[in-house]
Amino acid sequence: MNIKEKLKEVLISDLNLVDVTPEEIRDDEPLFGDDGLGLDSLDAVEIIVIVQKHFGVEIRNMEEGKDALRSLVSLAKFIEERQ
């Protein structure tokens, strides 16, 4: 399982995304906002914890987080560069 696939699985399970399957999450889809996955700022905090828990990578500040949390692709790239 690659990082993007694992990310989809853990986001769905840890954020309790009901009625969402990994196949429905597009890699380039924004994670936040109405035209994306629809996550909010509380979800952002949870994602930071999820990334550290499942991948051993820490998002240390808002600047890093802003870039990393744009989409699944940007988050996977962030993780890959720091593992």
List the domain range (segments joined by +) for residue 33.
3-82
pLDDT in tens, the chain (83 residues): 799 999 999 999 999 999 899 999 999 999 998 878 889 999 999 999 999 999 999 999 989 999 999 999 999 999 999 99
Maximum C-alpha span of the chain: 31
Domain harbouring 53, CATH code: 1.10.1200.10
Query: What residues form DSSP beta bridges with 39?
Result: 32
Query: What pLDDT is attached to residue 1?
Result: 76
Tokens of 63: 């600047």
Domain count, the chain: 1
Query: What pLDDT is attached to residue 78?
Result: 97
Query: What pLDDT is attached to residue 36?
Result: 82
The 10 Å CB-count burial string (b at 16+, else e) for 17-32 is: beeeeeeebeeebbbb
Query: What pLDDT is attached to residue 15?
Result: 96
Query: What pLDDT is attached to residue 82?
Result: 95
